[in-house]
Amino acid sequence: MTGDSSVNFNVLNRICKLVVVLCFLHIAVIFVFYVRSMDSPFGFRSQHSTRNDTKRQEAAVEPAEQAEQATEIKLEKCPETSPLLVGPLRVEFNTHVSLDQIKKDNPNVQLGGRYQPKDCEALQKVAIIIPFRNRDEHLKFWLHYLHPILQRQQLDYGVYIINQEGDETFNRAKLLNVGYVEALKEYDYDCFVFSDVDLIPMDDRNIYRCFQQPRHLSVSMDKFGYRLPYNQYFGGVSSMSKDQYLKINGFPNNYWGWGGEDDDIYNRLSFRGMSISRPDGEVGKCRMIRHDRDRQNDPNPQRFDRIAHTRDTMDKDGLNTLTYQLVSVEKLDLYTKITVNVGKP
Ligand code: BGC
């Protein structure tokens, strides 16, 4: 063998070794990437997960996490007209109703009288505000009839009973103001229905929600021969959006005793350029539970004078001057009971 050929052989031998080492290196790199692209017990994961990877991840989520994710899924909006409505209803007050039975009949109503539709996102969040004192029998009928109706109307709602503490003269409008403030402390309501405790709608198409204009809902009451007592009448049951309520500085606080406060509210709305929307006389039918006049709720002799001055008083008396003492907030099965001291005349 010549010196030249031995040098050539050595060079070839080194090149071959280098090629073998490079091959090993190459295989090693491929192996590492391969392992990283799999769900391996070594904990490697690909940065770019494929659709299948996502599925695998979902399958690996714990049941508790799955439940959490499910509640986060955005529901479709409820339809403009609920498909659950049935129309005219039979309303009578000679049967016995018990809170236990009402609770059993409405298993989806949550503590505090809260409800949200399960299958769709309600169009409005409605606080139902009821001024109250010593009317438990009427309240039972209200809960018995209204909870099923409000659920069929697919509302996201809460029921607030605003109970005036003590024996001083009753003040309906001030209690309604309290209801507005207290309900908003709990939830981001965008609509407020103000209802007397003794009024029951006779048709579930009379939707307890808000409209473009303030709404009068109790438009044909049995007490008035199923028609409006006068065109400006705004008593019984009404609804207002937050904006509409704020525009009129809420309700007056100084109507003590029966009458006039609803007329003052009507004046406020019309002075702020709003009109009243109403359902038709058939859909707007409702029944009132007959009762004697409450103690400490005699007709207010000052009401005529006060109604005559709404334009001057509305900015000085209302939500901006509301004061009261909160006595208690009770979360009961079918409603939230808020007891307040609203003072005296
Ligand atoms: C009173 C109102 C009441 C209406 C119907 C009016 O005289 O001022 O407060 O709602 O009568 O009873």
Q: 231: which strand partners?
A: none
Q: Using CA atoms, how far apart are residues 38 and 61, in angstroms rounded to an integer? A: 18
Contact at 8 Å (CB) between 197 and 130? yes
Per-residue pLDDT of the chain (345 residues; tens, 9 = 90+): 445 566 677 777 887 687 777 767 777 766 665 555 443 333 333 333 333 333 334 444 455 566 556 556 789 999 999 999 999 999 999 999 999 999 999 999 999 999 999 999 999 999 999 999 999 999 999 999 999 999 999 999 999 999 999 999 999 999 999 999 999 999 999 999 999 999 999 999 999 999 999 999 999 999 999 999 999 999 999 999 999 999 999 999 999 999 999 999 999 999 999 999 999 999 999 999 988 777 788 999 999 999 999 999 999 999 999 999 999 999 999 999 999 999 999
- Cα angle vertex 164, ends 161, 169, to 5°? 140
Tell which atom from ligand 1 comes closest to the C-alpha of 236: 10
Does ligand 1 lie within 6 Å of residue 263's CB atom? yes
- Cα angle vertex 115, ends 113, 319, to 5°? 65
Per DSSP, the chain holds a count of helices (H) and strands (E) of: 10, 11
Contact at 8 Å (CB) between 278 and 264? no
Q: Tell me which of 198, 263, 264, 317 is the catalytic residue.
A: 198
Does ligand 1 lie within 6 Å of residue 260's CB atom? yes
Q: Tell me which of 45, 258, 274, 298 is the catalytic residue.
A: 258
Does ligand 1 lie within 6 Å of residue 262's CB atom? yes
Q: Which of 240, 5, 202, 10 is nearest to 89 (CA)?
A: 202
Does ligand 1 lie within 6 Å of residue 259's CB atom? yes
* Domain ranges within the chain, ordered by starting residue: 1-73, 99-341
The tokens describing 137, both together, are 């029998």
Q: Using CA atoms, how far apart are residues 73 and 312, in angstroms rounded to an integer? A: 50
Superfamily of the domain at 99-341: Spore Coat Polysaccharide Biosynthesis Protein SpsA; Chain A (3.90.550.10)
Tell which atom from ligand 1 comes closest to the C-alpha of 303: 8
Q: 221: which strand partners?
A: 286
Does ligand 1 lie within 6 Å of residue 257's CB atom? no
Spatial CB neighbours of 92, under 8 Å, sequence gap ≥ 6? none
Dihedral sign of CA atoms 315, 316, 317, 318 in order: positive
Q: Tell me which of 203, 262, 263, 317 is the catalytic residue.
A: 262
Q: What's the 209 CA to ligand 1 centre distance in angstroms? A: 23
Q: Tell me which of 196, 204, 264, 317 is the catalytic residue.
A: 196
User: Exposed/middle/buried for 44, CB within 10 Å: 0-12, 13-18, 19+?
Assistant: middle
Complete DSSP assignment for 30-54: HHHHHHHTS--TT----SS--HHHH
Q: What's the 341 CA to ligand 1 centre distance in angstroms? A: 25
Does ligand 1 lie within 6 Å of residue 198's CB atom? no
Q: Using CA atoms, how far apart are residues 203 and 69, in angstroms rounded to an integer? A: 38
